[in-house]
């Protein structure tokens, strides 16, 4: 596949423009009912509320850190809704909108950032892996999981989420090698949000990311990552393709990290003037609201109720985080191993004494 | 009914039996298919179980271990082969960051029953990166188990235990003992996660594991002919490491010599010595002493007979701690 055969090479695939205008694409038909339109909009709004609440909770000292997905809700929610129940997503640490769409309680995410757990949800229950902080590793897990699907004779499929920065990690390269030689049912969903903390994409690549796919022998599509409808339609196309045994697919979602890398970061030290304002005009939620209103899919009452639901979520998160008691200290020894382990048990016994105020 | 086998044949038989018993056991590694692995440990398995269960992988160690993680999440029990000790480092991040921690991170929701087989140690005249002893890195990483067999019978049974365990296991195979023969008794039942007391003694306790167990036994034979009754203990499970049989014997012998190929500084011998010193302090007649690798990278093979712990070095050290 050469560059000019990559859909979206010149202009990323966009079904919904920033003004709320809809433009169908023959290769990526949008089959969607009014309910799913509303659900996806609601998911974007609720995910953004999780972001703003979590950021506020960090600022008031209730969380140690938060990594915001502000501005990236379109690609995340669209791709997540392309998945079936039995499919599995492997995230980095910025896929909180995917997590919401897969039914993960945001309080689980906040537990991770409050420091009560390294996980926070059951991956199998939601088809959504744990957040991965050492980036790129999860793409290999995604491919291995997809190899398991093949051996099960199932038509489930996997999405490996990662970003422009993680794409420089060797594990992503190895994941693409394994995925292509095994024809594994996995979609690589690269969110190119422009920044890896302070390093712009020209510190990660000298060619568009989608161009890399051809070297591995898999098709690529570039999409407007702020368009939830393109995210849905193109990811559905990709998932259906990988389910047939045709091998992996690469999607590059062009988006923008509207927030800081995390609450510890200060993007005013490196972000060029005007960039934020430009992308604010391409917001995924604003354009969807315009479309829903213009096409009579949702009315004022619906939007009022949604705002009330978001407020209620915010209240639940604030109360939930502040209400979390510190864990039982001896619980830090739980689950190091699945089976009993002499050294852990010895130290658990010693720490029971230490925690009680003795020496051991 | 026991059968005389090399360690390679015992490992092969152990893998075969695990694959027959559990269709979720899959093997991954470089050259493990048609070739049967560079040491032939997987000989014939691809032919009998097919290439979906014996996967000859791309040449990428992080990829091998990382895809094994995903397979385990899907309910498989991957047994991966790292071709040589010195090739494990490209997979080190996956092993330490992902494999070791996932059960803990998921609060027990996700088990990773992965076995990472690694031929290790020196003594075969190999080129660079083919003779290393990386066990301390893995033992120092909570979440991993580490087993190392000393002979063919042990290899068969410890690998069975590793594959049936719900935790990830780094399985270190002493490649210089691959071609040693022993009687393998398939019906044997003991706890593989505790040390084996191979010989009792009243003068000194020799503690070793993997390739050094034979060295310790041969040193003990020579010492016996000199009138010194040396006990020999094979630690074999490096994580967990329950040293109570060592403490029990050292309280009687009063002397302990630990033998391993790995660099002495910050090696497992230091951990064993610290525990023995703490538990047996009032019984000790001499400092707990180590016979191990010098502080240098594994040297070119023409040096290795000077570098590796030898029977003579073990005997000389025993005579020193006994003031003979």
Q: Do B52 and A178 touch (CB under 8 A)?
A: no
Would you say residue A360 has pLDDT above 70? no
From B33's Cα to the closest Cα of chain A, the distance in A is 15
In a domain? residue B190:
no
Cβ neighbours of residue A272 closer than 8 Å, sequence gap 6 or more: none
Q: Do B66 and A144 touch (CB under 8 A)?
A: yes
Rounded mean pLDDT, B299-307: 97
Q: Which residue of B has its CA nearest to A117?
A: B105
In a domain? residue B256:
yes
In the prediction, which pLDDT does B1 show? 83
In a domain? residue B191:
no
Contact list in A for residue B71 (CB cut-off 8 A) is: 144-145, 147-148
Contact list in A for residue B93 (CB cut-off 8 A) is: 134, 137, 171
Same domain, B253 and B136: no
Contacts 24+ apart (CB under 8 A), A116-123: A116/A324, A116/A326, A116/A327, A117/B107, A118/B101, A118/B104, A118/B105, A119/B105, A119/B106, A119/B107, A119/B109, A122/B106, A122/B109, A123/A88, A123/B73, A123/B106, A123/B109, A123/B110
- Using the 3D structure, point to which of B134, B152, B184 is the last residue of a domain: B184
From A232's Cα to the closest Cα of chain B, the distance in A is 25
- Which residues between 122 and 151 in chain B have a beta carbon less than 8 angstroms from any beta carbon of chain A? 142-143, 145
Q: Do A336 and B73 touch (CB under 8 A)?
A: no
In the prediction, which pLDDT does A14 show? 98
Residue B229 sits in a domain of what CATH number? 3.40.50.920
Check A212, A257, A287, A291 and give the catalytic one. A257
- Tell me how many domains chain B contains: 2
- Using the 3D structure, point to which of B153, B184, B215 is the last residue of a domain: B184
Q: How far apart are CA B62 and CA A237, in angstroms?
A: 30
Q: Out of A117, A144, A170, whose CB is closest to B67? A: A144
Same domain, B179 and B225: no
Contact B155, B14 (CB under 8 A): yes
What ipTM does this complex have?
A: 0.97
Contact list in B for residue A351 (CB cut-off 8 A) is: none
Contact A232, A39 (CB under 8 A): no
Same domain, B178 and B203: no
- Rounded to 10 deg, the angle between the A106-114 and A300-322 helix axes is 40
Q: How far apart are CA B82 and CA B198, in angstroms?
A: 30
Same domain, B291 and B216: yes
Would you say residue A359 has pLDDT above 80? no
In a domain? residue B124:
yes
Cα–Cα–Cα angle for A149, A155, A161, nearest 5°?
65
Would you say residue A149 has pLDDT above 70? yes
Cα–Cα–Cα angle for B107, B112, B113, nearest 5°?
135
Contact A147, A184 (CB under 8 A): yes
Cα–Cα–Cα angle for A115, A117, A121, nearest 5°?
130
In a domain? residue B177:
yes
Residue B24 sits in a domain of what CATH number? 3.40.50.970
Containing structural domain, residue B304:
196-321
**Confidence class of residue B188 from pLDDT cuts 50, 70 and 90?**
confident
What is the CATH topology of the domain spanning A3-327? Rossmann fold (3.40.50)
Q: Out of B75, B101, B103, whose CB is closest to A148? A: B75
Rounded mean pLDDT, A196-200: 95
Same domain, B317 and B168: no
In a domain? residue B295:
yes
Rounded mean pLDDT, A319-327: 92
Q: Does A142 touch chain B (CB under 8 A)?
A: yes
- Give tens-digit pLDDT for A52-81: 999 999 999 999 999 999 999 999 999 999
Same domain, B169 and B277: no
Contact list in A for residue B70 (CB cut-off 8 A) is: 90, 140-148
Same domain, B179 and B218: no
In a domain? residue B166:
yes
Same domain, B152 and B203: no
Q: Do A144 and B72 touch (CB under 8 A)?
A: yes
In the prediction, which pLDDT does B321 show? 97
Q: How far apart are CA A16 and CA A26, in angstroms?
A: 14
- Which residues between 9 and 48 in chain B have a beta carbon less than 8 angstroms from any beta carbon of chain A? 26
Q: Does B110 touch chain A (CB under 8 A)?
A: yes
Domains of chain A by residue range: 3-327, 328-360
Q: Do A144 and B70 touch (CB under 8 A)?
A: yes
Stated pTM of the model: 0.97
Rounded mean pLDDT, A9-24: 96
Cα–Cα–Cα angle for A140, A162, B116, nearest 5°?
20
Q: Out of B71, B145, B166, whose CB is closest to A144? A: B71
In the prediction, which pLDDT does A2 show? 55
- Give tens-digit pLDDT for A239-261: 999 999 999 999 999 999 999 99
Check A3, A59, A270, A350 and give the catalytic one. A270
From A148's Cα to the closest Cα of chain B, the distance in A is 5
Same domain, B90 and B233: no
Rounded mean pLDDT, B118-137: 97
Q: Which residue of A has its CA nearest to B169?
A: A337
Q: How far apart are CA A350 and CA A332, in angstroms?
A: 13
């Amino acid at each position: 596949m050469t560059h000019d055969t990559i859909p979206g090479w010149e202009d990323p695939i966009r079904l919904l423009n920033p003004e709320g205008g809809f433009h169908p694409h023959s290769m990526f038909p949008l089959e969607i009912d009014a309910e799913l339109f509303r659900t996806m909009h609601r998911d974007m709004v609720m995910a953004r509320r999780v972001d703003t609440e979590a950021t506020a909770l960090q600022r008031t000292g209730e969380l140690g850190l938060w990594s915001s997905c502000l501005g990236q809700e379109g690609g995340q929610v669209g791709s997540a809704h392309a998945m079936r129940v039995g499919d599995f997503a492997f995230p980095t640490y910025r896929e909180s909108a995917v997590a919401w769409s897969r039914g993960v309680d945001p309080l689980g995410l906040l537990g991770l950032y409050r420091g009560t757990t390294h996980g926070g949800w059951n991956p199998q229950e939601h088809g959504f892996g744990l957040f991965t902080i050492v980036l790129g590793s999860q793409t290999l897990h995604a491919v291995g999981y997809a190899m398991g699907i093949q051996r099960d004779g199932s038509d489930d499929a996997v999405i490996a989420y990662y970003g422009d920065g993680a794409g420089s990690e060797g594990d992503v390269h190895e994941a693409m090698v394994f995925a292509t030689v095994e024809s594994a049912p996995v979609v690589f969903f690269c969110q190119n949000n422009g920044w890896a903390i302070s390093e712009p994409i020209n510190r990660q690549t000298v060619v568009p990311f989608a161009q890399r796919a051809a070297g591995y022998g898999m098709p690529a599509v570039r999409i407007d990552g702020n368009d939830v409808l393109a995210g849905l339609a193109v990811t559905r196309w990709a998932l259906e393709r990988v389910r047939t045994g045709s091998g992996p697919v690469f999607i590059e979602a062009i988006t923008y990290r509207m927030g800081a890398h995390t609450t510890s970061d200060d993007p005013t030290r490196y972000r060029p003037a005007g960039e934020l304002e430009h992308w604010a005009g391409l917001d995924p939620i604003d354009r969807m609201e315009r479309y829903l209103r213009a096409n009579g899919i949702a009315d004022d009452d619906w939007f009022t109720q949604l705002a009330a639901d978001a407020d209620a979520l915010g209240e639940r998160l604030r109360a939930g985080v502040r209400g979390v008691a510190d864990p039982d200290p001896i619980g830090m020894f739980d689950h190091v191993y699945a089976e009993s382990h002499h050294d852990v048990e010895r130290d658990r016994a010693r720490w029971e004494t230490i925690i009680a105020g003795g020496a051991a | 009914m026991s059968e005389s086998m090399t360690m390679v044949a015992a490992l092969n038989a152990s893998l075969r039996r695990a694959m027959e018993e559990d269709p979720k056991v899959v093997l991954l590694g470089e050259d493990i298919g048609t070739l049967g692995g560079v040491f032939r440990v997987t000989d014939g398995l691809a032919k009998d179980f097919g290439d979906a269960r014996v996967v000859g992988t791309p040449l990428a160690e992080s990829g091998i271990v990382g895809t094994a993680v995903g397979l385990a999440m899907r309910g498989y029990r991957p047994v991966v082969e790292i071709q040589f000790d010195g090739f494990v480092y490209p997979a080190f991040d996956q092993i330490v960051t992902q494999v070791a921690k996932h059960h803990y991170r998921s609060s027990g929701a996700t088990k990773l029953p992965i076995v990472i087989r690694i031929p290790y140690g020196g003594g075969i005249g190999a080129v660079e990166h083919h003779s290393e002893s990386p066990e301390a890195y893995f033992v120092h990483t909570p979440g991993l188990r580490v087993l190392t067999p000393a002979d063919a019978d042990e290899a068969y049974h410890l690998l069975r235990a590793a594959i049936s365990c719900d935790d990830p296991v780094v399985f270190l195979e002493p490649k210089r003992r691959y071609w040693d023969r022993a009687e393998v008794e398939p019906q044997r039942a003991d706890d593989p996660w505790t040390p084996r007391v191979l010989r009792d003694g009243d003068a000194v306790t020799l503690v070793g594991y993997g390739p050094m167990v034979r060295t310790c036994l041969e040193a003990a034979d020579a010492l016996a002919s000199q009138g010194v009754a040396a006990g020999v203990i094979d630690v074999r499970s490096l994580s967990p490491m329950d040293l109570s049989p060592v403490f029990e014997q050292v309280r009687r012998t009063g002397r302990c010599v630990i033998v391993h190929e790995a660099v002495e500084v910050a090696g497992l011998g230091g951990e064993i010595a610290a525990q023995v010193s703490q538990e047996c302090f009032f019984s000790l007649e001499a400092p707990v002493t180590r016979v191990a690798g010098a502080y240098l990278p594994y040297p070119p093979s023409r040096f290795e007979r000077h570098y590796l712990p030898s029977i003579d070095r073990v005997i000389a050290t025993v005579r020193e701690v006994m003031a003979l």
